[in-house]
């Protein structure tokens, strides 16, 4: 629920930046810059999960 709330709070800012974008390359950069931190956190969380699962299995 917290993620969806964060996404909803963040979305108007992205829409505003898209409307003010000078060209399509800027729009692509805004989208990548907006979602990259979330994707990186998910990847780190999965890596920790996988490491802990592998560590637990070797005991």
- For the segment 32-47, what is each residue's pLDDT rounded down to a tens digit? 888 888 899 999 999 9
Looking at the whole model, is its pTM more than 0.75? no
Higher pLDDT, 22 or 5: 22
Q: How far out from the chain centre does Cα 48 lie?
A: 17
Please tell me whether residue 58 adopts helix, strand or coil conformation: coil
Domain boundaries, the chain: 2-57
User: Is the four-CA dihedral 16, 20, 24, 26 of positive or negative sign?
Assistant: negative
DSSP string, 14-56: HHHHHHT-SSHHHHHHHHHHHHHHHHHHHHHHHHHHHHHHHHH
């Amino acid at each position: 629920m917290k993620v969806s709330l964060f996404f909803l709070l963040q979305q108007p800012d992205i829409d505003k930046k898209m409307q003010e974008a000078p060209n399509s390359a800027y729009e692509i950069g805004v989208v990548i810059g907006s979602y990259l931190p979330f994707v990186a956190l998910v990847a780190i969380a999965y890596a920790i999960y996988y490491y802990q699962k592998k560590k637990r299995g070797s005991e």
